Amino acid sequence: MIKKLIYIFSSLIFFIFIIYVAVGFYLANTILKINPSCGLHEGALPNTWSTLVDHHEYSNVNRSILRKNFPFKNYHIDDWQAVYFSSREKDIKISGWLFDHHKDQPIVIIVHGLFPNGKCKPESNLLASLLIKNNINALTIDLRNYGDSTTVSNYENLGLSEYKDVLGAYDFLVENGFRESSIGLLGISLGGTSVIFAGKEEPNIKAIWLDSTLAEFKMILKDEIARYGFPHDFGPSVSFAGKFLTGIDPTKLSPAFSLTKTQNYFFTHGDKDERVLIHHFDFFKEYINKNNIKAKFWLVKDSYHVDAMFKYPDEYGIKLKNFFEEHLNN
């Protein structure tokens, strides 16, 4: 009888363990599996992109209306150059659009977020336009596994490898005549992790703008698990599965701890962000204040994920201009 109970108990524990691991792999695969396309914006160009397409993606009515009514044609750009260059990781080629409109003026590398995404999305194109309108040049890029850049994996590495692509863009600009001190970075959502890690690696980069960026691994892990309706107890299983699938250790994903005291940061976030919750913005702010890091903050009222640029484009553009002109040398 005792042996039978032990067998039943052991079988039950094994079954629970299998379920626990399986859920971890399901979540990790769902969160990290890349769709390399640009979704509904596939084929969009700086002079053809539209928000009439992507407003259908949003179940949030406020976000949908904002994009449906946005005057995107006012921000089209007719003059750009398609460029290709090497990542700082061997054998990886990165695709970009170079907007070199203002001689002897600073330039900002714009880095997109999570799939489906790329330089084709409205966010990257709008930010390039806002910069150009304010006398600052821009370079939008496709990170590895996106758009026209080299595909090396089916899974997102959360910036822990992609930062080398950003550094490749930096090297490309230096090789083409831009001064090291005139190059800034701008990260959208998950793209913020790549630019923070790139900045830590390249101290000559003095100005980094971050829109709706995650701050710390344990926080985003709990957020993502909850988003799919599971308790945070599955965290260790998801972490293990993520490392197994990608070959990188996701527990190292804590951008806040990679901020430096020699660089200047600008953080903006919507107070109603449902994708990267506002506690990430609060975490950055608290950590920065405790560690005397140079940063400015703009919390946008009644705004959702990366909505500020669409809701207040003129104000957003002026803030971009003031920040990058203050910290980048021509």
- Report the pLDDT averaged over residues 172-185: 97
**57 pLDDT more than 70:** no
Comparing C-alpha atoms, which of 55, 85, 59, 79 is closest to residue 68? 55
pLDDT band per the 50, 70, 90 thresholds, residue 4: confident
Query: Whole-angstrom Cα distance, residue 110 to residue 118?
Result: 10
pLDDT of the residue at 1: 67
**DSSP-H helix ranges across the chain:** 2-32, 51-54, 61-68, 122-133, 163-175, 191-201, 217-227, 235-246, 278-291, 308-311, 313-327
Q: Which residue in the block uniquely carries the two structure tokens 């990886």? A: 92
Q: Are 163 and 194 in contact (CB under 8 A)?
A: yes
pLDDT of the residue at 231: 92
CA 116 from chain centre, in angstroms, equals: 12
Predicted confidence (pLDDT) per residue in 207-257, tens digit: 999 999 999 999 999 999 999 999 999 999 999 999 999 988 888 889 999
pLDDT band per the 50, 70, 90 thresholds, residue 35: confident
Max CA distance (Å), the chain: 85
Q: Are 94 and 85 in contact (CB under 8 A)?
A: yes
- Quickly count: other Cβ atoms within 10 Å of residue 286's Cβ: 12
Reported for 2-7, long-range contacts at CB under 8 A and 24+ positions apart, including other chains, are: none
Token pair of 212 as six digits: 């709706």
- Quickly count: other Cβ atoms within 10 Å of residue 226's Cβ: 12
Q: Which residue in the block uniquely carries the two structure tokens 């002897």? A: 104
**5 pLDDT more than 80:** no
Predicted confidence (pLDDT) per residue in 261-282, tens digit: 999 999 999 999 999 999 999 9
Token pair of 316 as six digits: 């957003």
Mean pLDDT over all residues of the chain? 93
**38 pLDDT more than 90:** no
**Contacts of residue 173, Cβ cutoff 8 Å, sequence gap at least 6:** 107, 109, 139, 183
Give the chain's radius of gyration (CA, Å).
Answer: 21
The β-bridge partners of 137 are 107
Edge-to-edge strand list for the sheet holding 93-99: 81-86, 93-99, 137-142, 107-111, 183-188, 207-211, 264-270, 294-300
Predicted confidence (pLDDT) per residue in 299-325, tens digit: 999 999 999 999 999 999 999 999 999
Query: Whole-angstrom Cα distance, residue 297 to residue 281?
Result: 9
Q: Are 200 and 234 in contact (CB under 8 A)?
A: no
Token pair of 66 as six digits: 């904002």
Predicted confidence (pLDDT) per residue in 145-174, tens digit: 999 999 999 999 999 999 999 999 999 999
pLDDT of the residue at 210: 98
pLDDT of the residue at 55: 60
Hey, what domains does the chain have and what are their CATH numbers?
1-32+217-251 (no CATH), 36-216+254-327 (3.40.50.1820)
pLDDT band per the 50, 70, 90 thresholds, residue 53: confident
pLDDT band per the 50, 70, 90 thresholds, residue 12: confident
